[in-house]
Structure 1
Amino acid sequence: MEHRSRTTHPLENPPIERIVRPFQDFIHKEASGGIVLILAAVAALIWVNSPWEDSYHQLWETHLKIGAGSFLLDMSLEHWINDALIVVFFFVVGLEIKRSILVGELSTPRRAALPAIAAIGGMIVPALVYLSFNSLGSEGGRGWGIPMATDIAFALGVLALLGRRIPLSLKVFLSAFAIADDMGAVAVIAVFFTDEISWVNFGIAFGLLGVLLVANRLDVRNPLPYIAVGVLVWYYFLLSGVHTTVAGVLLASVVPIRVRLDADSFYNRARYLLDEFKRHDEDSNDMLPATIEQRAAVQALETECQHVESPLQRMEHAFLPWVAFLIMPIFGLANAGVSLDSGLGSASTSSVTVGVFVGLVVGKSIGVTLLAWLAVRTGVAVMPQGVNWRQMFGVALLGGIGFTVALFITSLAFADDALIADAKIGILAGSIVAGAGGWIVLRMTSSHN
């Protein structure tokens, strides 16, 4: 039987794809999320220091009601952002933590030792530096957790600007160190910034987490049950008094990470389905959709692709762009606004501003470098391949970019507007100096690579 030869034509990008491609390329660059967050923070500063300052505060103080009956929540936009939207960010952080511990940079003691120990130094030393300027009993004492945090998006964004000058092992170390640092920040929020606990609501929330754990064990892979029950977990955490960011991390811990197909099985199944697709190729026309058999093969292949990827990976991939390009910029716009006219004068002599600034720039760099050096010196850990100590110090400086989580801890630590403004100025100044300093050190030490 003579088969028809089928003419193939090179695929041409449709006009709409040529329009959106630059935006897609921008989204997939490592530095893009940090750039958008910077723009949001700059916009907040310009807005607050303009003649329209009142409109900035009025916007975030606007109340929004969601729900009905006994489930009605009435909060300001600022609270919706800091108690609800930020939970999605911490959910993604939780997914990254779980993946890193089970299959990633923190999956073995040898891999986890150096970034974990460095993160401990990067939390303890900045907190001690801050407390050297603000005693625990003082009005600014509650801000000791502010300089402990590292903004992973900003730090990796700055590192990405250096391109191939930076060894891959250094990027892996920074990612692992920042993830370990996030774990510490969540623990600090849970333990030290929870005032009163409603044990009934707390128990209901954990009961719902137990339901999701059972779903995990039953290999329920559809994300919808986890999202639907997760909203209820968030609601009862909100009522319990334990900050809802903890709910985000705990929800991530019950998302399945197992796959149904291993790599070899997927390869064999995919080859079979592609062969089936090719076998029916002679029955289709170039200008018409695929045949019934080909569509069946494509649908089966889509199912196999889902089985070779874990629900955790799919959810992390789905949520990450929304977090990077919508949630975090909104958070930055709502929280980075501080009046420089009235704030700079008091901030220059404020122990809170100085404590945060020195903690981020000096405490973070010394803490990370010192603990990492001790770990390597004593044989507990090994240096990443191709990394020298000057580069390690540069990465430690980047750890002082504490923008997002630092601003968030500020909102938990202080109720006084003046203290919040002082802390924000310290965060902004410290993050800028730490980021620029880290970039300069890494640029100088890596230019020969």
Structure 2
Amino acid sequence: MARTLTLDFLKTEAASGAALGLAAVAALAVANSPWAADYFAWLKSVHALQIGPIRLEETISDWIKEGLMAVFFLVVGLEIKYEILRGELSDPRKLATPVLAALGGMIGPAAVYLLLSALIGAPHGGWPIPLATDIAFALAVFGVVGRGLPSSLRVFLLTLAIVDDLGAIALIALLFSEGTNWTPLIWAVGALAVGAVAARRMRIAAPFWVLGFALVWYLTVLSGLSTSLTAVAFAAIVPIQPRAEDGQSPLKEAMHDLHPWNAFLVLPLFAFAKAGVSFAGLSFEQAFAPLVVAVALGLFLGKQVGVFGAAWLASALRIGARPSGASWIQVYGVALLCGVGFTMSLFIGVLAFPGAVDSPEQIEVKLGVIGGSVLSALAAALVLGLGARRRVARPAEDPAPAEARASTRKD
């Protein structure tokens, strides 16, 4: 059942990855066209949402990042919960592997950056930039090249990227936050606790789940924290047990209903809003500046070494286990894919080097992030493509003959 559910997701994400890629290319084209000023003005335009006494004013960019992407993280959280309770991650060792790999995926890039900082003089303060993985773009690339690969690899990537993303958010809060508004945050935690208790003791209709999620989301926005945190937390309280009256699982229903919206609305809009990087002011000399090299190699080398090294070590020490049906070359392909930092790394770059968007540091951050992310994506696509072809040429065991042999033995 878990395998069927994940393969259904992959069918959608193959098309979704193509849609996201087209949206990203369109954003890059517009950001470097005569309409660039209109594009950036649209992203910065402020729009208000008012429901009774509740009023929120955010830019289009923030509505997409903190609003629509909260739905993305909710769906991701629901899928991870499903896999932990019913699927690939129900084996604690297979859950430990992506968690440890995510930690390695943060240590590796930081070590590479700091080493290069000492060797070639890159600014010391840029070390957090290559730590992040852009989960949306990484999943999009996997959706395009993942046909023929074991579904456990996608679950491995998903879990790893979520832990990595939460780690990056925690790092942002620790290093760059100007303070958290604790009162709404405490109310949000309280609402989650009430929802968890209610979900265990009574049947909650779908509209109340929607209202509950909206309430927790609103309180998180007021607190100043990223809504991705509470979106994943909210997913954890959605019941997986089927209802007695119709036999349907609320968690599986929510995944099924939200996933197409996620795939064909949320992620393409996110890509169009976040991939629009202007290359105005770039010069050839800046392509090999110390900051560019340190960020690019932190993403490309640091991520693959940290993720793959931690995953292999966890397996060798029997703390973790390799994803079911996957080879080490396929795991290495996923480790490469984690070097797609893109929007999250660009965001951290703005915090690490505050200033004008056309300042030398910001231009170099863009070059480094884009260079490292593109290298990682291309290398990952090549390795995963080879891994998929090798698996097709030497397919995994066919369940039908196994069942036939079992039947024969019984007879």
CA distance in 2, matches of 1:70, 1:221: 26
TM-score, scaled to structure 2? 0.80
> What is the DSSP-based 3-state SS (H/G/I as helix, E as strand, rest coil) of the residue aligned with 1:372?
helix
CA distance in 1, matches of 2:39, 2:219: 30
- C-alpha change, 1:156 and 1:43, in structure 2 (3 Å) is closer
CA distance in 1, matches of 2:84, 2:10: 26
CA distance in 2, matches of 1:248, 1:162: 26
The answer on 1:109 being equivalent to 2:92 is yes
- C-alpha change, 1:386 and 1:28, in structure 2 (3 Å) is closer
CA distance in 2, matches of 1:344, 1:226: 51
What is the count of residue pairs matched by the alignment?
A: 375
Alignment RMSD (CA, Å): 3.0
The answer on 1:52 being equivalent to 2:35 is yes
Q: Is the 8 A contact 2:275 2:343 kept in 1?
A: no
- Identify the match of residue 377 of structure 2 among 415, 423, 435: 435
**Could you tell me which residue of structure 2 aligns to residue 364 of structure 1?**
303
Per-residue deviation, residues 217-247 of structure 1 (Å, max 9, x unmatched):
2232422112112212111211112222212
- Identify the match of residue 262 of structure 2 among 298, 313, 323: 323
Q: Is the 8 A contact 2:104 2:310 kept in 1?
A: yes
Residue identity matched to 2:339? G
Shift of 1:353: 3.5
Q: Is the 8 A contact 2:220 2:226 kept in 1?
A: yes
CA distance in 1, matches of 2:167, 2:153: 21
Shift of 1:432: 2.1
Q: Is the 8 A contact 1:122 1:368 kept in 2?
A: yes
Q: Give the alignment of 1:320-399 within 5 angstroms.
A: 320-343=259-282, 345=284, 348-384=287-323, 387-399=326-338
Q: Is the 8 A contact 1:221 1:256 kept in 2?
A: no
Q: Is the 8 A contact 2:156 2:323 kept in 1?
A: no
> What is the DSSP-based 3-state SS (H/G/I as helix, E as strand, rest coil) of the residue aligned with 1:380?
coil
- C-alpha change, 1:321 and 1:132, in structure 2 (3 Å) is farther
Q: Return structure 1 stretches of 4+ with deviation > 6 angstroms.
A: none
* Larger gyration radius, structure 1 or structure 2: 1
> What is the DSSP-based 3-state SS (H/G/I as helix, E as strand, rest coil) of the residue aligned with 2:107?
helix
> What is the DSSP-based 3-state SS (H/G/I as helix, E as strand, rest coil) of the residue aligned with 1:338?
coil
Q: Is the 8 A contact 2:21 2:140 kept in 1?
A: no
> What is the DSSP-based 3-state SS (H/G/I as helix, E as strand, rest coil) of the residue aligned with 1:381?
coil
TM-score, scaled to structure 1? 0.74
Q: Give the alignment of 1:110-129 within 5 angstroms.
A: 110-129=93-112
> What is the DSSP-based 3-state SS (H/G/I as helix, E as strand, rest coil) of the residue aligned with 1:51?
coil
- C-alpha change, 1:207 and 1:363, in structure 2 (3 Å) is same
Extract unaligned runs of 5+ from structure 1. 1-24, 262-302
CA distance in 1, matches of 2:115, 2:307: 18
CA distance in 2, matches of 1:225, 1:86: 21
**Sequence identity percentage:** 35
> What is the DSSP-based 3-state SS (H/G/I as helix, E as strand, rest coil) of the residue aligned with 2:211?
helix
**Could you tell me which residue of structure 2 aligns to residue 228 of structure 1?**
211
Q: Is the 8 A contact 2:287 2:367 kept in 1?
A: no
- Identify the match of residue 30 of structure 1 among 13, 19, 41: 13
Shift of 1:412: 6.0
Residue identity matched to 1:376? S
Q: Give the alignment of 1:238-387 within 5 angstroms.
A: 238-260=221-243, 304=246, 307=247, 309-343=248-282, 345=284, 348-384=287-323, 387=326
Extract unaligned runs of 5+ from structure 2. 1-7, 395-411
- Identify the match of residue 211 of structure 1 among 194, 200, 204: 194
Per-residue deviation, residues 285-323 of structure 1 (Å, max 9, x unmatched):
xxxxxxxxxxxxxxxxxx63xx2x311111111111111
CA distance in 2, matches of 1:407, 1:57: 16
Q: Give the alignment of 1:165-204 within 5 angstroms.
A: 166=149, 168=150, 171-190=151-170, 192-193=172-173, 194-204=177-187
**Could you tell me which residue of structure 1 aligns to residue 56 of structure 2?**
73
Q: Is the 8 A contact 1:200 1:240 kept in 2?
A: yes
- C-alpha change, 1:326 and 1:420, in structure 2 (3 Å) is farther
